[in-house]
Amino acid sequence: MSAGLWLPLLRRAAPWLVPWLLVALLALACRHYAAVATTRAQQLASQDSAFRAAQAQAQVAAGAARARQEEHYRQQAQAQEIRHDQELQTARAAAARYAAAHRVQPAPLAGAAGPAHAAAEDHAAGVREDLPAAGVVVSQDDVQACTEVTAYALSLREWALGIGTSVTAPMPGQR
């Protein structure tokens, strides 16, 4: 068949063939884009499940890291508490020795039987005559209270200075 034979046939069929061809092309394009959309939806679903799995794994790793760090802090706090208790006992003993060594001892009165007689005397309110004018009188309880507060403050200072040096947490995979 020659090309001349097809041309008149196409001219007669063109008015009704072109819309059908366009409908067929549109159907093919719709099918193509539907397949692309389905593939993309499957990729997104796969990516979403991978993201959720990675998120769950990261949460488990973060929980484990937090638990390790909390245990580290617990151990530090326990060691600091033990150290503080030991330092407090040492400070209390030192305060008791200091108080015993520097306690004002009243001089025995002339003709008195001894220190028991001087202690039995009733003193009126005010400064006793046998105390030196430049002296400061502090009760044993006050000395111990000041010692405990000072020991606690020094322990807190030592702890605070040690915070910056021991906070580095190991990264996952490091040990």
Confidence of residue 3 (pLDDT cuts 50, 70, 90): low
Q: What are phi and psi of 49, to 5 degrees?
A: -65, -35
Are 152 and 41 a contacting pair, CB within 8 Å?
Answer: no
What distances in angstroms separate CA 124 from CA 14, 58, 111, 128, 129, one per listed residue? 133, 75, 21, 8, 11
Q: What is the pLDDT of residues 78-97, one digit of tens each?
A: 988 898 899 889 988 988 88
| Between 119 and 25, residue with greater pLDDT | 25
Q: Which pLDDT score, from 0 to 100, does residue 102 have?
A: 74
- Residue with more model confidence, 156 or 116: 156
pTM over 0.85: no
State pLDDT tens for residues 25-71: 999 999 999 999 999 999 999 999 999 999 999 999 999 999 999 99
Nearest to 151, CA basis, from 84, 76, 81: 84
Q: How many CB atoms sit inside 10 A of residue 102's CB?
A: 10
